[in-house]
């Protein structure tokens, strides 16, 4: 359940009011990092992007990675069959959240609304942070952990947030917490992420 304070904060992070219902599924000290969108917006339009990266610091870091050619690099680095499987799992989870009796337009595609390939590193990374088995999200985490230097994110320096994987034992103050909603893996404990 989304609280009014979470809704206000997500609107602030997005720079606009959210157009549908969502749940905060990853946060950092209570500040939303990843939201899980309902598959249909309030007006009934399909919402193909189930997981949305809203946290300011990780969003900027992933944007910087994209600006350095990250989409192309991820496409080349990730096994095509593994990526195809991720798209299918993502779509199946999203589609399962729509009532069977619903007869209107439905979202299509997998991660970020695409059926194959890599479209948006933010969408892949958001799903990965929420516990999704996403090879592109994992690749993004590896790139950020390897030391991608952005204006406000410098992994490996004092006070920075380090990336771990679900179930990692590298906890610290300020680590991201994976929510317990739905079928999210790693709901116990914390996961250290940027």
pLDDT at 144: 92
Structural domain includes residue 179: no
pLDDT value of position 7:
96
Domain span including residue 50: 4-158
Residue 17 falls within a domain, yes or no? yes
Structure tokens at 33: 């990092």
Overall average pLDDT of the 119-140 stretch: 96
pLDDT of residue 148: 56
Tokens describing residue 121: 């590193």
> Is 165's pLDDT higher than 60?
no
pTM over 0.85: no
Backbone phi, then psi, for 65, in 5-degree steps? -60, -45
Model confidence at 191: pLDDT above 70: no
Each residue's pLDDT tens digit, 70-93: 999 999 999 999 999 999 999 999
Does 11 map to a domain?
A: yes
């Amino acid at each position: 359940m989304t609280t009014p304070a979470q809704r206000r904060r997500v609107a602030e992070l997005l720079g606009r009011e959210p157009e549908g219902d969502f749940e905060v599924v990853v946060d950092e000290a209570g500040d939303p990092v990843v939201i899980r969108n309902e598959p249909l917006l309030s007006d009934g339009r399909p919402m193909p992007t189930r997981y949305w990266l809203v946290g300011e610091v990780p969003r900027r870091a992933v944007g910087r990675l994209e600006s350095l050619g990250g989409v192309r690099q991820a496409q080349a680095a990730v096994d095509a069959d593994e990526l195809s499987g991720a798209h299918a799992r993502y779509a199946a989870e999203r589609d399962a959240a729509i009532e069977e009796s619903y007869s209107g337009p439905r979202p299509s595609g997998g991660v970020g609304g695409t059926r194959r390939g890599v479209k948006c590193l933010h969408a892949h990374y958001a799903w990965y942070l929420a516990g999704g088995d996403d090879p592109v999200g994992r690749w993004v985490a590896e790139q950020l952990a390897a030391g991608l230097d952005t204006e406000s994110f410098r992994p490996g320096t004092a006070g920075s947030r380090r990336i771990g994987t679900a179930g990692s034992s590298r906890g610290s103050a300020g680590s991201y917490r994976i929510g317990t909603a739905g079928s999210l893996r790693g709901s116990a404990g914390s996961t250290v992420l940027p």
